[in-house]
Amino acid sequence: MDFFIKQLEIIEAKEINLIVDTITFFQHLEIKRNKTREIIDKLYDTVKRTEGLGFLYGIKNEKRSFIENEVINICDAVFDISLIKKADKTTTELTIPKARNRPIHGNVLKFKIEGGIIMDTSREIA
């Protein structure tokens, strides 16, 4: 954990893309909450300092959801991707529950990835 924090501190480049796949990994280390918060703060500071973008991937509904809540609170945008399996088909849905300073309309976009991204623009009738 300390190694990870030190590596963030030595980044000098500008306009970086910082990708953590997955932030949920830190939940499984069974570390104290204040240490987890330190990692989240260091990620945030690094992205701000380098004028870059940070992408944190996580798995929803894990057992230590306080990390999920803290990450969502500091993020400028949250993309929620769900895979819904039914008896005869699988549907992938994208929603954007948070976008700082932007109105949220609650739209759900359905898509498939088959040699490219195929958007489903049809509307289901209840």
pLDDT at 8: 86
In whole angstroms, what is the distance from residue 64 CA to residue 43 CA? 19
In whole angstroms, what is the distance from residue 1 CA to residue 29 CA? 9
Cis peptide preceding 92, ω within 30 of 0: no
Closest CA to 71 of 33, 37, 30, 117: 37
β partners of residue 117? 113
Helix (H) or strand (E) holding 36: helix 33-50
- pTM tops 0.85: no
Structure tokens of 41? Answer: 């703060």
pLDDT at 63: 64
Residues in the chain: 126
Domain spans of the chain, in order of start: 1-75, 76-126
pLDDT of the chain along its 126 residues, tens only?
Answer: 788 888 888 888 898 888 887 777 776 777 777 777 788 888 888 989 999 888 888 777 666 566 677 777 878 888 888 888 888 877 788 888 888 888 777 777 777 766 667 777 666 544
